[in-house]
Amino acid sequence: MCRHLAWLGAPRTLSDLLLEPEHGLLHQSWAPRRQAHGTVNADGWGAGWFTPGQPAPARWRAAGPLWASVSFASVAPHVAAGCVLAAVRSASAGMPGDESACAPFLRDGRLLSHNGVVDRAVLPAAAWRDAESVCDSAVLAAHLLEDPDDLGARVAAVGAADPRARLNVLLADGERLLATAWGDTLSVLVRDDGVVLASEPYDDDPGWSDVPDRSLVTVGPGGVRTTPIGR
């Protein structure tokens, strides 16, 4: 369920990251190549990006499919950022369908996207109170964003409480990216001008590599680091 992507590096336009790649998020909204759960991601989308000097990132979210957003397609070539997080959504059965249920979710100036599913009953009451929506991904985001520096341990604890959960997460704060691979695919591409983390490669560049399941990926000034979690 869902596909997402994050970028950290030199400024790139939203169009270059999301719309123009042959197998980018736009294409993944109707024809993902590696998605094992669900077939299309037409239940909403969202993009968030950080602008230097601004206290909080910008977000653009919508409840419809990305391919139907003519306004975003016209604006995306004109917006460039060095830190971007975006997602297309395949909603779980019974979850709300409005844009508040679409990633990325926001708390304390940080963005988070969840690709997967989780039993909301295992999440603490405080997360329900702080969540932007009652959907499982929003409640999970509120819980994980309470302490972003403890992302790996928190994901592992949620996974232990709900063994059927799929907990691929992307987190961005403008200066670094954090990601977990837990139950679904995650790939990384290191370019000369930055790093891409994505549910699946957006092109056939041989530089893409798959992240091992149950791993935490950290991208920042020190490069890319992958460490095991919950093992």
Q: Where are the strands (E) in 124-165, listed by range? A: none
Question: Is the Cα dihedral 191, 59, 119, 97 positive or negative?
Answer: negative
Residue located via tokens 């994505």: 198
Q: Report the 10 Å Cβ neighbour count for 39.
A: 10
Name the token pair of 123: 């999440």
Q: Is 135 a catalytic residue?
A: no
H/E element, 44? none
DSSP 58: E
- Calculate helix-pair angle for 136-144, 151-161, nearest 10 degrees: 140
How many residues make up the chain in this entry? 231
Out of 2, 83, 102, 135, which one is annotated catalytic?
Answer: 2
What is the DSSP annotation of 60-128?
EEESS-GGG-HHHHHHGGG-EEEEEEEEE--PPTT---SGGGSSPEEETTEEEEEEEE--GGGS-HHHH
Task: Give bridge partners of residue 88 from the DSSP assignment.
Answer: 3, 45
Residue located via tokens 């983390």: 197
Active-site residues, by number, are 2
